[in-house]
Amino acid sequence: MSDEKARPIIWARPPRSARGPQPALTLDRIARAAVALCDAEGPDALTMRRLAAELGTGTMSLYRYVQSKDDLIDLMVDLTFEEIDRPAHPDWRGGLHWLAHQIRARALRHPWAAQVDAPYFFLGPNGIEFLEYLYGIVDGIGLDIDEMMRAINLVYAYAEGAVRQELAAERRAAASGAGEEEWMRAHSAYVRSLMGTGRYPLMQRVMLEAEQPHMTPEENFEYGLQRVLDGIETWLPGSGTRKSG
């Protein structure tokens, strides 16, 4: 096993010694500066050198606190979960509906968060507190612990996947200087030429009949979310369609 794989996650490392002068930086200050930088300029702007400059310190000094960019991203993603309130919910469906919209809102506030990998965020102080809260939403409704995990993971995966598509469309529109409908109109002649071949009858039906392309991002997100929640409801005891495994 390499040193990289053996290195403990940042929250598991021993704290800096209390002896000597107080450290000039804290992990919280570093994470907040990194989040602000990525919010303003996107994830490509984030380098240890650039962040050190934003903090008014040297790059090597920054490495005394975070050993890699992966450490930094874990800290940043964990910090974003601090923003999310933990309200009480009267029922599981309302709670999971709230969860999905919170994930979407978080990604829209911090678009970079949908473009980075942070596999250990749930072990950070905010991430693990958030997960504990989420499991409370589906506790006591007749699901076993594996089904509780699957319910949370399913809603989370749907919300993240949907908002990634939404953000990708926004980036495409920004790159082309046109809105989504303008972009589609600009490519309509090419699409019509494909449909005119007769080789894509189902795609032609999509172009002519489907309502989804004309939904707003919010409507599209909500439409898919309700189907996900409908599926989870079939897992509940007494649903008449409950299946194990």
- pLDDT value, residue 188: 78
- pLDDT value, residue 119: 67
- pLDDT value, residue 45: 95
- Residue 107 to residue 112: CA distance in whole angstroms: 8
Ordered structural domains, the chain, with CATH: 3-80 (1.10.10.60), 86-233 (1.10.357.10)
Distances (CA, A) of 194 to 147, 191, 208, 210: 44, 5, 14, 18
- pLDDT value, residue 1: 36
The whole model's pTM is what? 0.81
- pLDDT value, residue 2: 41
Residues 93 and 233 sit within 8 Å (Cβ to Cβ): yes
Specify burial of residue 235 (Cβ count, 10 A radius: 0-12, 13-18, 19+): buried
Residues 166 and 217 sit within 8 Å (Cβ to Cβ): yes
- pLDDT value, residue 139: 97
Mean pLDDT by 10 residues, the chain (245 residues): 59 66 83 97 94 96 91 94 92 97 95 80 88 96 96 96 91 73 74 85 82 80 97 89 54
- Residue 204 to residue 194: CA distance in whole angstroms: 9
SS (H, E, C) the chain: CCHHHHCCCHHHCCCCCCCCCCCCCCHHHHHHHHHHHHHHHCHHHCCHHHHHHHHCCCHHHHCCCCCCHHHHHHHHHHHHHHHCCCCCCCCHHHHHHHHHHHHHHHHHHCHHHHCCCCCCHHHCHHHHHHHHHHHHHHCCCCCCHHHHHHHHHHHHHHHHHHHHHHHHHHHHHHHHCCCHHHHHHHCHHHHHHHHCCCCCHHHHHHHHHCCHHHCCHHHHHHHHHHHHHHHHHCCCCCCCCCCCC
- pLDDT value, residue 205: 84
- Residue 114 to residue 163: CA distance in whole angstroms: 8
- Residue 100 to residue 241: CA distance in whole angstroms: 24
SS (H, E, C) 181-213: HHHHHHCHHHHHHHHCCCCCHHHHHHHHHCCHH
- pLDDT value, residue 224: 95
